[in-house]
Structure 1
Amino acid sequence: MNQLQAIVFDMDGLMVDSEPLSQQAWDEYLRPYGHKLTEEIVSSIIGLRADMSTPTIKAMFNLPEPVPVIIQKRAAIYSQIRASGVPTMPGLHELHTEIARRQIAWAVATSSPRHHAEEILQQLGLHNRCQAIAAGDEVTHGKPNPAIYLLAAERLGIPPKQCLALEDSGPGSLAAVRAGMTTIAIPNAQTKTADFSHAHHRYNSLHDMLANLDTFFGN
């Protein structure tokens, strides 16, 4: 296992607890129409890019506005909600302290747009440490297509097979596996019932990842 050279992080629901905020943005958009997302709907769209999840919600609630307008309006709401800060997932900063100490290369591969990723990394104080970002608006196909993970590896300059991917969603972990990365699923409250049978490992938190770093990167 010691051939691994880098870690590629998903962002939403893995580094930061942003999924409840994302759901809040949807609920605010849907309120005038008398709708809100159920747990079932949230589970079905987690990890997907906006252009993949929005048509589903539009059809489900028979929303009158075109998909691009819905995406734009909901993104503006989400941006306002995020501006006051996003909670970190347990163990994130401890893990990144150790990654920095060991000088392990790392990147972010997120379905969200690049400006969102940069904003979150700034808020976390990790922007200057992140060696590469691959975002949903930089690839033709979103997760579960492997394109985002392949782009992250390319920008790191490290082959996918030498990268360890950390993911909280089914589509995301499938994308990482398809890219050829060793993949660890770390489900959150919204994704704990997802199918992770394709993932190589499953941990409960980033604390578990920290405890197992030697397994993948040696001492």
Structure 2
Amino acid sequence: MNQLQAIIFDMDGLMVDSEPLSQQAWDEYLRPYGHQLTEEIVSNIIGLRADVSTPTIKELFNLPEPVPVIIEKRAAIYSQIRANGVPIMPGLHELHAEIARRQLTWGVATSSPRHHAQEILQQLGLLDRCQAIAAGGEVTHGKPQPDIYLLAAERLGIPPQNCLALEDSGPGSLAATRAGMTTIAIPNAQTQTADFSHVHHRYSSLHDVLANLDQFFD
């Protein structure tokens, strides 16, 4: 294994339990049309950028509004929901306390827009400590392509092969692996059945990452 020098976190579903809130936003948008997302639909779009997932949902439910309008309206609903606070994933603060103690370099690679990432990190009290953010709108190709992880590594100033990536979704973990990173999958309730055959390790929570940190960083 290459000497690891940094940790790159996915955000939604990994740092915060925001996937149910994201689904709630979709359901609120779809309610006037008499639709809601099924578990199968959620599992198919999880970890993808809005410009990839929205056309799928538009076609599935034959929605009349153009994709950009759907994205904008749903984003506004989601923003209102998030404003009430987002549940933190177990072990997040303990892990970050140890990252701070060891003075490890870390950043975020998220499919979400940059303002969303900054808002969440601010709520978590981690924005000032985050050393790089790579957001969905800043790359040509979203997850599962490696672009977003390559951008995060570039902004941290560390080669991708020297980065440890933490992911909860199939597309996200595939993106990190394709970028050449050591990848840990930490599935949540929505991603338990995803294909993680490409990852290097699979843990049940961020507590496990903390417990195994010596394995990755001296």
For normalisation by structure 2, the TM-score amounts to 0.99
Match of 2:39 in 1: 39
Matched, 1:9 2:9: yes
Tell me how far apart the structure 1 counterparts of residues 53 and 212 of structure 2 sit (CA, whole Å): 34
Percent identity reads: 87
Q: Distance in 1 between matches of 2:131 and 2:76?
A: 28
Match of 1:90 in 2: 90
Write out aligned runs for 1:49-60 (5 A): 49-60=49-60
Count of aligned pairs: 218
Deviations 1:14-35 (A, max 9, x none): 0000000000000000000000
Give 1:65-144 correspondences, 5 Å limit.
65-144=65-144
> C-alpha separation between the residues in 1 aligned to 2:210 and 2:35?
40
Structure 2 equivalent of residue 190 of structure 1:
190
Structure 2 regions of 5+ residues with no counterpart?
none
- Would you say the 8 A contact 1:10–1:110 is kept in 2? yes
> 1:193-208 residue pairs with structure 2 within 5 A?
193-208=193-208
Structure 1 letter corresponding to 2:59: A
Q: Structure 2: which amino acid aligns with 1:28?
A: E
Matched residue SS, 2:73? helix
Shift >4 Å, 4+ stretches: none
How far apart, in 1, do the equivalents of 2:59 and 2:202 lie?
A: 34
1:146 paired residue number: 146
Deviation at 1:2, TM superposition (A): 6.7
Q: Which amino acid is the alignment partner of residue 78 of structure 2? A: Y
Deviations along 1:156-175, one digit per CA (max 9) or x if unpaired, are: 00000000000000000000
**Structure 2 contact 162–181 (Cα < 8 Å) conserved:** yes
Shift of 1:140: 1.0
Asked whether 1:171 is paired with 2:171, we answer yes
Post-superposition offset of 1:199: 0.5
**What's the CA shift string for 1:9-57, capped at 9, x where partnerless?**
0000000000000000000000000000000000000000000000000
- Asked if 2 retains the 8 angstrom alpha-carbon contact of 1:11 and 1:108, the reply is yes
Quick one: distance in 1 between partners of 2:123 and 2:137? 21
Deviations 1:140-195 (A, max 9, x none): 11000100000000000000000000000000000000000000000000000000
Counterpart of 1:207, as a letter, is: H
2:94 is the counterpart of 1:62: no
Name the SS of the counterpart of 1:175 in structure 2. Answer: helix
Distance across 1 between alignment mates of 2:138 and 2:3: 28
Partners of 2:125 and 2:84 in 1: how far apart? 15
Q: Is the 8 A contact 1:2 1:216 kept in 2?
A: no
Alpha-carbon distance in structure 2 between the residues aligned to 1:96 and 1:79: 25
Segments of structure 1 that go 5 or more residues without pairing to the other structure are: none
Deviates more, 1:2-11 or 1:200-209: 2-11
Name 1:158's counterpart in structure 2: 158
What secondary structure, in the 3-state scheme, does the structure 1 residue paired with 2:133 have? strand
Letter in 2 for 1:198: H
